[in-house]
Amino acid sequence: MDKQLLETTLLDMVRALPVGKTLAPSDVAQAVAGKAADQWGPLMQPMRRIAVRLAKEGQLVIYRKGDTVDPDDFKGVYRLGAVRID
List of residues 6+ apart from 58 with CB closer than 8 A: 83
Q: How confident is the model over 25-62, as pLDDT tens digits?
A: 999 999 999 999 999 999 999 999 999 999 999 999 99
Residues 28, 34, 37, 38: what is their CA dihedral angle, to the nearest 10 degrees?
A: -120
**Taking Cα atoms as reference points, which of 78, 14, 15, 69 lies closest to residue 45?**
78
Q: How confident is the model over 65-74, as pLDDT tens digits?
A: 999 999 999 9
The answer to whether 73 touches 15, Cβ cutoff 8 Å, is: no
User: Is the pTM above the cut of 0.85?
Assistant: yes
Domain 3-81 has CATH 1.10.10.10: yes
Residue 1 has pLDDT above 80, yes or no: no
List of residues 6+ apart from 19 with CB closer than 8 A: 82, 84
For position 42, what pLDDT does the model report?
A: 96
